Amino acid sequence: MKKILVTGAFGQIGSELVPALQKEFGTENIVCLGHRNIPADFKGILEKTGIDEIGKIEEIVNKYQIGTIYHLVSILSAKGEKDPQLTWEVNMGGLKNILDLAVKHGLKIFWPSSIAAFGPTTPRKMTPQKTILEPTTMYGVTKAAGELLCQYYFLKFGVDVRSVRYPGIISWKTEPGGGTTDYAVAIFYEALKTGKYQCFVKEETSLPMMYMDDAVRATLAIMAADSEKLTVRTSYNLAAISFSAGELALEIKKHLPLEVTYQPDERQKIADSWPESIDDSLARKDWGWLPEYDLARMTQEMIKQLRENKKLLA
């Protein structure tokens, strides 16, 4: 089979998507591109190259006979506001490079968009698939523009590019990395480490979220779907659970002692500009999407995994 290349293979999503791809297609068929946070016990094919080095990525595509790229490299929302220039270059420049390679080599592409593509003028509850996209973060600007670029390459060049708008993703394998929804991960780490957490959004702030296992299943499902079934080539709305920071704290307290204080910072404004809940009926209809984790199950699983993997809490 043609091999699969994963960029950003050691980020939050890559760290869990790569093992799932290795399991499904064989470790020998998955090529991982990364340059930071490479775990010492990583098993698989590794190439170290930056996303701006299109020549080197093309060499990798040729060397391994790549047929599909999961292009996950991205600077997230909160970190993006610290260096908007770099965020544009990495997020848009990287995507454009990958799409150009897709045209030249007939590649199939997965690229993640996000709830960050929405903005303060978007309807906040049960946000529809087709709606106003006026994001106010650079990360969101690159997601909205990236969605249009993907659709353009599909329409103009026939690139089979597929995308979902991930909600905030909750996972235990990697520590939070510069996103606004990261409080929903950090709270678990701190609950287990110290029993205290200072939350950077307000107690009542509610955002769409998803447990990583659901996110990985969604990614594999959209990539496995028949091309003709896909009616969206910008990016599909994707949803699982929505809860406020306070509701999450209460759920964790059912298992552990936890004291939460709320000290909103600049990330509050970003959170306020995103939807509270998402209408993902088209993803359900077109490629059979159905989430499995609710708040209770996700909380149980996070605590169990972090307890079993204590070194992550060191």
Minimal distance, residue 160 CB to ligand SER, in Å? 23
User: DSSP of 234-282, one letter per residue?
Assistant: S-EE---EEEEHHHHHHHHHTTS--EEEE---THHHHHHTS-SSB--HH
Which DSSP symbol is given to 273?
Answer: T
Which residue in the block uniquely carries the two structure tokens 């909600």? 167
Specify whether the CB–CB gap between 284 and 290 falls below 8 A.
yes
Q: What are 198's two structure tokens?
A: 């200072």
Cβ proximity to ligand SER: between 2 and 82 the closer is 82
Closest CA to 245 of 191, 303, 181, 301: 181
Which DSSP symbol is given to 166?
Answer: E
CA distance 189 to 171: 11
User: DSSP of 31-95, one letter per residue?
Assistant: EEE-SS---TT--SEEE---TT-HHHHHHHHHHHTEEEEEE-----HHHHHH-HHHHHIIIIIHH
Cβ proximity to ligand SER: between 154 and 166 the closer is 166
Q: What are 227's two structure tokens?
A: 């091309």
Cβ proximity to ligand SER: between 22 and 235 the closer is 235
Cβ proximity to ligand SER: between 29 and 206 the closer is 206
Minimal distance, residue 117 CB to ligand SER, in Å? 9
CA distance 188 to 208: 17
Please state the length of the chain.
314
- Tell me the residue type at 187: I
Catalytic residue among 64, 70, 139, 183: 139
Closest CA to 75 of 126, 133, 141, 155: 141
Minimal distance, residue 210 CB to ligand SER, in Å? 10
Cβ proximity to ligand SER: between 170 and 282 the closer is 170
Minimal distance, residue 80 CB to ligand SER, in Å? 8
Cβ proximity to ligand SER: between 64 and 70 the closer is 70
What values do phi and psi take at 142, rounded to 5? -70, -25
Concerning whether 139 is annotated as a catalytic residue, the answer is yes
Minimal distance, residue 91 CB to ligand SER, in Å? 11
Minimal distance, residue 231 CB to ligand SER, in Å? 23
Per DSSP, the chain holds a count of helices (H) and strands (E) of: 12, 14
Which residues, in sequence order, are bridge partners of residue 243?
207
Residues that bind ligand SER (CB under 6 A): 76-77, 114-116, 139, 166, 168, 179-181
Active site residues per annotation: 139
